[in-house]
Structure 1
Amino acid sequence: MRKLLLSGILCCSLISLSTVYAQKSEVPKFITNVEGVKEYSLKNGLKVLLIPDASQSNMVVNIVYNVGSRNEGYGEKGMAHLLEHMLFKSTKNLGDIKKMLSDKGGNANGTTWYDRTNYYEVFPSSDENLKWSIEMEADRMINATILQTDLDKEFSVVRNEFEIGENNPDRVLQERIISTAYLWHNYGNSTIGSKEDIERVKANTLRVFYEKYYQPDNATLIVAGKFDEQKTLQYIGQYFGAVPKPKRVLDKTYTIEPAQDGEKFVELKRAGDSKNVGALYHTVSYADKDYAALDALGEILTADPSGYLYKSLVETQKVSSLYFWQPTVRDASYLYFGFAVANDKDIKGTQDVVRAELDKITTIKYTDQDVSRAQAKIIKQIESIKNNTISFAINLTEIIGAGDYRLGYLYRDAIEKLTKEDIQRVAEKYFRSNNRTVGVFIPSKDEQRTKPVEFTDEQIVALTKEYKGKALEKEVAAFEASIKNLKQNLTEGKLTNGMKYGLIKKEIKGGKVQANFVFPVSNEKDLAGKSDVGAIMAQLLKTGTTTKSKEQIQDRLDQLKSSIGFNFNGQTLSVYVSTYKENFKEVMAILEDLLLNSTFPENELTKTIAEYNTYLEANLNDPQSIAINEIDRQTSSYPKESIFYTSTTQEQIDAFKKIKQSQLVDFYKNILGGNNGVGSVVGDLDTKEATQILESTFGKWNSKSKYELAKPIYFETKKLDKEYLTPDKENAIALGKVSLKMDRNSPDYPAFVMANEILGSGGFLSARIPMRLREKEGISYGAGSFINVPITNDVAYWEYYALLNPTKKNAVEVAAKEEISKALKDGFTAEELKSNLVSWQNERKTRLGSDDTLMGLVNTYLQYGIPLEDYDTLESKVKVLKVEEVNTVLRKYLSLDKMTSIYAGDFNKK
């Protein structure tokens, strides 16, 4: 009787909810259209941004709340971030959010920072996915359950995330410098929060925070990609229009950081294997016109190879590498420099050298060339993000958090209008030693102090409300994410030297063109002992040719808003190109110059080795690096000369130190070549012209070394449990690996894919291993499994992983092995297969909407003759699987008696 009564109440509540949606539904009011971003609003205060892009096959729904760690009070540090985690649990009306996201596949995430929290879902475009996402976000806005039982499990997951960050010396140093630089403002507190506050906060306290900030008048909803605009507005009006406007009035934060009155210094001592120096200067809000000039100055100072600090510190090998960043934030921000220092350098002496070079920033006479170079690089980055609609919609999160989405356009306009006088002015105004945090207090009189400028909400409204933006760009044609459509838009051919290519006719926003080239070269004999040489050679391919310097190459690529990347691994050189239709020919000519005329300057080799080895030294005691390295070493026995050999980190460091410039030149001239290569290009290019460009670039580029495909050897794994102690590291990792013989043509492959999906890889943390370790017991921040089944040989493996607190090592080991054992003994259920099949299919459809996936499929087809239809064929085979087949294949290939397990962490912690 009680069950019937509850059922009746539930039905009534759902009917009531539907009635509310019907009654309260409204048509969103159109506000403005800024460069294709269409703004609407609802009466309850919700802002809506629609960004249609027919060329996409996916869509994203992203909701941004104007609340972050800036809004946290005493005892609440980390509350905004913890609440972000909790909103993936359940709602009163829809139930288990995480399970629903898992069942639907796609990509979903939530993030928190100083001024904002956001949640987004990327799905294949469909009315069903769109409607569900909007309904879910509307329900999650006001109906999250926030149960204490869920919080009891989740806080340890968040604590584990905190501990992962504690393993990174550069990140910890950065946090200490930021907290020292700020006296009062919450930007001085890490968003992930205080571990003690995370552990002690109660669900009812979280609810108060949630009910205050998670309201329509404090949110911006973004829908971008391919979608029906009228239906989208209808769904938004139906679901969000039913959410009442809150009666409470949000208090504005009013803390303003006072002007810093002297250089500060912080020293951090803790376990680690790398040396770092950091420096922070207080700057301005993202809304301030000086923000753009400061960003450009950061580039002018740090760019490789033209930057003033780069030349004075990296070129001279006083530091191994450097970087800068300036957060996109609502209140007065900061600009941070990070410097990596080799272990053989004196850290205090280097610190003094760095400070001396920073003191010169105000005295440098900046040039027009400096400005144009920085402008080109930043505009290239802006355009690249803008023309990837999904990324653009997610990237708007930071700008909205800073005050208004139109600030991003004002920032771009400010970059375009910069002069050397702007750069000189901000250098002299903000880069004073009394505005810097690296050192000690120094008393002095009559200081000229840099006082942060406050921007009120009203000022930002006045700054942005009349902004119209530039002229709208031409709308691009739709492109269906399917193998059939890919084949219809594919033109394939062969160059005179035998290289195969595929041209994928597809309009991309902004006229963007992307290319991926794969060049298999040489053979095991000629490559023996040269793996490290090949890796470094690839990194130095852009450091100068007989016709251009490194600086000229980088400047021209920035001016063309283009990028070229190289990587060499095993016996394959990979080349990545990102450019635009009108620049494709010139960028490919630059690539040709790099492939035929590179010079590998000695000083660039020295710098690169120093940078790589500094990075590797930092990983000598890192749990994840050790575990990933050792799992391969424990499960294979290749000789050191083999291209399949896995070096220890120290062996890698020693090998890099021995590399000579002559070895790079020899590898470049005798090993590299394009005659066995394949490549694919995506964009709206003329087929004949593109073919001619490819022929000019690669047609005469041949390797002197005969190509023979190298194949790995099968090593059977054995039962092994091995620990590696990493003292004073806050996080640990567990890995388990089982070798098996299988290739993708195996009749067992489809069933094994689904077995792995259910066991550890599928859905949004709904597979057995992550569900047990993270969701049920809260003993791991991230856990799962994956498979590696090759195309050209049958040397495959299955592997599981778990990130954990060192004190939870035994619990994680027991739980992971129990879940594997249960699966082997009892098998999976038909319901598990059914639900994971849906999420697996959706994830594949989402992936097919990516240009990288399209290029990868075409390259695989060209290189190995794997038909494009195999992508659909696999799905057809998986769809008809019976659960008995999946269980049989799982038991055939997986066994705890053959699993090698590696654990790395400080397991002496109590």
Structure 2
Amino acid sequence: MRKLLLSGILYCSFVSLSSVYAQKSEIPKYITNVEGVKEYSLNNGLKVLLIPDASQSNMVVNIVYSVGSRNEGYGEKGMAHLLEHMLFKSTKNLGDIKKMLSDKGGAANGTTWLDRTNYYEVFPSNDENLKWSIEMEADRMINATILQTDLDKEFSVVRNEFEIGENNPDGVLQERILSTAYLWHNYGNSTIGSKEDIERVKANRLRVFYEKYYQPDNATLIIAGKFDEQKALQYVGQYLGAIPRPKRVLDKTYTLEPAQDGEKFVELNRAGDSKNVGALYHTVPYADKDFAAIDALGEILTSDPSGYLYKTLVETQKVSSLYAWQPNVRDASFMYFGVAVPNDKDIKATRDIVRTELDKIPTTLYTDQDVSRAKAKIIKQIEGVKNNTISFAINLTEIIGAGDFRLGYLYRDAVEKLTKEDIQRVAEKYFRSNNRTVGIFIPSKEEQRVKSVEYTDEQLVTLTKDYKGKALEKEAAAFEASIKNLKQNFVEGKLSNGAKYGLIKKEIKGGKVQANFKFPVSNEKDLAGKTDTGGILAQLLKTGTKTRTKEQIQDRLDQLKSSIYFNFSGQVLSINISTYKESFKEVMEILNDLLVNSTFPQNELTKTITDYNTYLESNLNDPQTVAFTELSRETTKYDKASIFYTPTIQEQIDAFKKIKQTEIVDFYATILGGNNGVGSVVGDLEAKSTVEILENTFGKWNSKSKYELAKPTYFETKILDKDFITPDKENAVALGRISFKMTKSSADYPAFVMANEILGSGGFLSARIPMRLREKEGISYGAGSFIDVPITNDVASWSYYAFLNPTKKNAVETAAKEEIAKALKDGFTAEELKSNLVSWQNERKTRLGSDDTLMSLVNTYLQYGVPLEDYDDLENKVKALKVEEVNAVLKKYLSLDKMTSVYAGDFTKKL
């Protein structure tokens, strides 16, 4: 009765709220259309962007607030990020946000950074989801409860997230360099904030910050994907238009970082397993014309294989890898160079070598080819994001945070117009040693200091207000996310060597084409002791052929805005391709060259192994890596030569060091081949010509080793609790696993899927394990469960995980086991099954809207004969389940007496 009464009260509140919305509704005012992005505004100051794409089956609602760590004052470090967490709790009118998101399914998240905070939801396209998302964001904007009781639980979760970040040597070094480089501006502060501020802030202080910044005149709402535009505008006007414009006036931030007056140095001494060098240069805001030139210079310097720094540092094996990045921000930005150093190198000597090479940046004479190459790569990246509407809408978050969504187009236009003179100019202007941070102060005279560039809001308006963009592109046709529609647009066949293919006829924005190929090869005997060789080989397939150099391969792919990725695992070579309709044939010709003419230069093999081992060395004491490695080793007992054997991290390092070029060449010549492969292609391609291209690419590529599917051995798990100490690590990981026999065709599989969903995998952190560990007790940053049930063999398992502070190990262990024991003893309720079924169905609907899912379904059908209809059949079986069946299957397969648990962390730490 109490539950019914409460529901009635909430319903009445909802009706009352709706009537208010109806009274104050307004029609958003149309502003402009820039290349398919339609801008509107409300009288309360809210900006609205609509990005329709009928080819999508999903939609995203993304709201961006112009507040981040840049806006935090004394004692407020990390407040914007902490509020991001708190705004997933509850609101006065709608109630529990996480519960509602869980019931809706789909994908949802919130992120915070230097200039902005955003919240987004990706759901299957329908009016109900559109309306609910807009109504929820309106309620969350002004009616968040921000209770002290919720904060008491959440701050430890955020602190745990802070501690996980503290274990990343490269990330920590970058934070310290930033804090040294910026004397006054808040870009020197970590967005996640001060640990002490996180722990001490009170809810009333958070509310003041919330009420100041989380208002319509400080927000931009983005709706993208497949949706009814008129209804979207109606809902925006109804729910968000009802919010009055705040009376307070937001003070503008005005801190301008002074010109740096000498090179700075940082020496960071703390626990870790890898050596890193970092260097930072102050640059310009995203709005500045020089930003694009600096980005291109970063590509010219670090790109593999053509980069100047790459050639002098990585090619010569002085370092194992390097990267550069420049964040898109509102105020003066920075260019950061990150360098990974092998453990056998002297870190201080390497630092000086890096500085010497950086000093050459202003005096290097750059070429037209350098600029052309960098422009091709950047434009490829821009086009890749632009033609994925959901990602594009979320990616706009950063650009809006930098000042205005049109800045992204101005940046693209600036990239297209770049010349070598632009590159030379920014190299000479910004890349001076007195504008660099790596260490100690060195006095010098007559420096040409680089001042920060500032843009006022008025300048931004002048810069962007009349921008119209390029001509609108043709809209892609709608594609229904259903198995029935997939089958209607699907053609299959065989190549002359027996390889199977599936073609999915679907228009993708921009004429994009996606392809995924799986090539099972060889047999367990021929592959014994060679899986490491296969893994390294896959990374070397783009390092040169008899007809093309590594540089030529990468340059041409960038010019075609295309990518080819290889991976080898177990006994399968996987190939993923992203390209465009007009480039598909040439990209496949390049792929054929890589598959039949690769040369595997010795220097590339050496570099690749060094890079891999440097990464592995950095993870020798990483709790997450150690935990997952050791759990696999404890639950499977294969011989070392088996393709299923899990090596220790050190064994993996030692194995890579022993790989010879002759072994790579032999593996390539005798093991690889396409005659047992399957592949799927998604795009608006003509079937006959596409089959001809596939035949030319794979039809004569055959393996000399007989293919036999290798099947794993079943090892029954036993009760075990084992600790692995990782000294001085701030976070820890708990893992547990139970093995059993089951396949996806087993009668018990549907019920077991839902048992796992309710216990640890389902909803938006609403299943039992995450609800207990994170939401109720706040002792884990992330917790849940997952299953591994195969198609072709019956070696299956269920696992749970939790990320935690080492001092919370006993509490996490107790809570997790109690939740499992409670489920086994008392079972789940019919209400739990009902609510998790809804979110599970919605999540599957969302997943079916992904091209990756379509290709995966087709490849599974081609390789194993699993009918496409099985996707719907599983859903029908799950919908017919009774809670008694779910409980019975849970008890049949899970038992704490068979659970192997491992814990990795520094459990010597005290509270």
Specify the alignment match of 1:811 in structure 2: 811
Determine whether 1:502 maps to 2:476: no
Determine whether 1:700 maps to 2:700: yes
Find the aligned partners of 2:121 and 2:675 in 1 and give their Cα distance.
42
- Summarize the alignment of residues 50-69 of structure 1 with structure 2, pairs less than 5 Å apart: 50-69=50-69
Specify the alignment match of 1:166 in structure 2: 166
Specify the alignment match of 2:527 in structure 1: 527
How far 1:466 sits from its partner (Å)? 0.3
In structure 2, give the amino acid aligned to 1:165: G
Contact 2:10 2:93 in 1 (8 A): no
Specify the alignment match of 1:758 in structure 2: 758
How far 1:17 sits from its partner (Å)? 1.6
Determine whether 1:369 maps to 2:369: yes
How far 1:13 sits from its partner (Å)? 4.2
- Shift of the 25–319 alpha-carbon distance from structure 1 to 2, 3 Å rule, reads same
CA deviation map 1:523-555 (0-9, x unaligned): 000000001000000000000000000000000
Specify the alignment match of 1:385 in structure 2: 385
- Summarize the alignment of residues 119-138 of structure 1 with structure 2, pairs less than 5 Å apart: 119-138=119-138
In structure 2, give the amino acid aligned to 1:787: I
Determine whether 1:32 maps to 2:32: yes
How far 1:6 sits from its partner (Å)? 8.8
- Shift of the 378–78 alpha-carbon distance from structure 1 to 2, 3 Å rule, reads same
For normalisation by structure 2, the TM-score amounts to 0.99
How far 1:12 sits from its partner (Å)? 5.7
Find the aligned partners of 1:743 and 1:516 in 2 and give their Cα distance.
24
In structure 2, give the amino acid aligned to 1:822: K
Determine whether 1:109 maps to 2:109: yes
Specify the alignment match of 1:452 in structure 2: 452
CA deviation map 1:188-222 (0-9, x unaligned): 00000000000000000000000000000000000
Find the aligned partners of 1:764 and 1:258 in 2 and give their Cα distance.
45
Find the aligned partners of 1:561 and 1:8 in 2 and give their Cα distance.
56
Find the aligned partners of 1:462 and 1:823 in 2 and give their Cα distance.
62
How far 1:759 sits from its partner (Å)? 0.1
In structure 2, give the amino acid aligned to 1:454: E
Query: What secondary structure does 1:556 align onto?
Result: helix
How far 1:302 sits from its partner (Å)? 0.0
Contact 2:14 2:94 in 1 (8 A): no
Determine whether 1:589 maps to 2:589: yes
Query: What secondary structure does 2:866 align onto?
Result: coil
Specify the alignment match of 1:791 in structure 2: 791
Find the aligned partners of 1:384 and 1:558 in 2 and give their Cα distance.
11
Query: What secondary structure does 2:273 align onto?
Result: coil
More deviation in 15-24 or 659-668? 15-24
CA deviation map 1:136-164 (0-9, x unaligned): 00100000000000000000000000000
Specify the alignment match of 1:776 in structure 2: 776
Find the aligned partners of 1:363 and 1:2 in 2 and give their Cα distance.
77
- Shift of the 448–836 alpha-carbon distance from structure 1 to 2, 3 Å rule, reads same
- Summarize the alignment of residues 483-882 of structure 1 with structure 2, pairs less than 5 Å apart: 483-882=483-882
In structure 1, give the amino acid aligned to 2:115: D
How far 1:325 sits from its partner (Å)? 0.6
Query: What secondary structure does 2:265 align onto?
Result: coil
In structure 1, give the amino acid aligned to 2:663: Q
Determine whether 1:17 maps to 2:17: yes
Query: What secondary structure does 2:60 align onto?
Result: strand
CA deviation map 1:601-641 (0-9, x unaligned): 00000000000000000000110000000000000110000
Query: What secondary structure does 1:718 align onto?
Result: coil
How far 1:419 sits from its partner (Å)? 0.2
Find the aligned partners of 1:638 and 1:419 in 2 and give their Cα distance.
58
Find the aligned partners of 2:329 and 2:147 in 1 and give their Cα distance.
32
- Shift of the 12–98 alpha-carbon distance from structure 1 to 2, 3 Å rule, reads closer
Contact 2:103 2:763 in 1 (8 A): yes
Specify the alignment match of 2:326 in structure 1: 326
Query: What secondary structure does 2:276 align onto?
Result: strand
Query: What secondary structure does 1:801 align onto?
Result: strand
- Shift of the 707–14 alpha-carbon distance from structure 1 to 2, 3 Å rule, reads closer
Find the aligned partners of 1:331 and 1:8 in 2 and give their Cα distance.
50
Find the aligned partners of 2:709 and 2:361 in 1 and give their Cα distance.
53
Specify the alignment match of 2:443 in structure 1: 443
Q: How many residues align?
A: 910
Find the aligned partners of 1:569 and 1:727 in 2 and give their Cα distance.
31
Specify the alignment match of 1:303 in structure 2: 303
In structure 2, give the amino acid aligned to 1:259: A
Structure 2 alignment gaps of length 5 or more = none
Structure 1 alignment gaps of length 5 or more = none
Find the aligned partners of 2:625 and 2:401 in 1 and give their Cα distance.
35
Find the aligned partners of 2:12 and 2:388 in 1 and give their Cα distance.
44
Find the aligned partners of 1:283 and 1:662 in 2 and give their Cα distance.
47
Query: What secondary structure does 1:634 align onto?
Result: helix
Find the aligned partners of 1:11 and 1:842 in 2 and give their Cα distance.
24
- Summarize the alignment of residues 244-263 of structure 1 with structure 2, pairs less than 5 Å apart: 244-263=244-263
- Summarize the alignment of residues 269-418 of structure 1 with structure 2, pairs less than 5 Å apart: 269-418=269-418
How far 1:20 sits from its partner (Å)? 1.3
Specify the alignment match of 1:202 in structure 2: 202
In structure 2, give the amino acid aligned to 1:115: D
How far 1:653 sits from its partner (Å)? 0.3
Find the aligned partners of 1:678 and 1:8 in 2 and give their Cα distance.
55
Query: What secondary structure does 1:515 align onto?
Result: strand
In structure 1, give the amino acid aligned to 2:48: V
Specify the alignment match of 2:233 in structure 1: 233
- Shift of the 304–657 alpha-carbon distance from structure 1 to 2, 3 Å rule, reads same
Specify the alignment match of 1:45 in structure 2: 45
In structure 2, give the amino acid aligned to 1:790: P
How far 1:11 sits from its partner (Å)? 6.1
Find the aligned partners of 1:475 and 1:319 in 2 and give their Cα distance.
46
Find the aligned partners of 1:454 and 1:6 in 2 and give their Cα distance.
54
Specify the alignment match of 1:87 in structure 2: 87
In structure 2, give the amino acid aligned to 1:50: L
- Shift of the 6–825 alpha-carbon distance from structure 1 to 2, 3 Å rule, reads closer
Find the aligned partners of 2:897 and 2:748 in 1 and give their Cα distance.
21
In structure 2, give the amino acid aligned to 1:101: L
Find the aligned partners of 1:522 and 1:7 in 2 and give their Cα distance.
61
How far 1:15 sits from its partner (Å)? 3.7
Find the aligned partners of 2:892 and 2:566 in 1 and give their Cα distance.
40
Find the aligned partners of 1:585 and 1:850 in 2 and give their Cα distance.
24
Among all aligned residue pairs of Structure 1 and Structure 2, give the percentage whose two residues are the same amino acid. 85
Specify the alignment match of 1:182 in structure 2: 182
Find the aligned partners of 1:335 and 1:767 in 2 and give their Cα distance.
42
How far 1:4 sits from its partner (Å)? 11
Specify the alignment match of 1:904 in structure 2: 904
Query: What secondary structure does 1:682 align onto?
Result: strand
CA deviation map 1:221-246 (0-9, x unaligned): 00000000011100101000101110
- Shift of the 484–203 alpha-carbon distance from structure 1 to 2, 3 Å rule, reads same
In structure 2, give the amino acid aligned to 1:42: L
Contact 2:160 2:805 in 1 (8 A): yes
- Shift of the 829–369 alpha-carbon distance from structure 1 to 2, 3 Å rule, reads same
How far 1:14 sits from its partner (Å)? 3.5
CA deviation map 1:330-349 (0-9, x unaligned): 00000000000000000010
Specify the alignment match of 2:474 in structure 1: 474
- Shift of the 40–722 alpha-carbon distance from structure 1 to 2, 3 Å rule, reads same
In structure 1, give the amino acid aligned to 2:898: K
Query: What secondary structure does 1:441 align onto?
Result: coil
Find the aligned partners of 2:8 and 2:887 in 1 and give their Cα distance.
40
Query: What secondary structure does 2:284 align onto?
Result: coil
- Shift of the 3–589 alpha-carbon distance from structure 1 to 2, 3 Å rule, reads closer
In structure 1, give the amino acid aligned to 2:302: T
Query: What secondary structure does 2:669 align onto?
Result: helix
CA deviation map 1:783-817 (0-9, x unaligned): 00000000000000000000000000000000000
CA deviation map 1:652-672 (0-9, x unaligned): 000000000000000001000
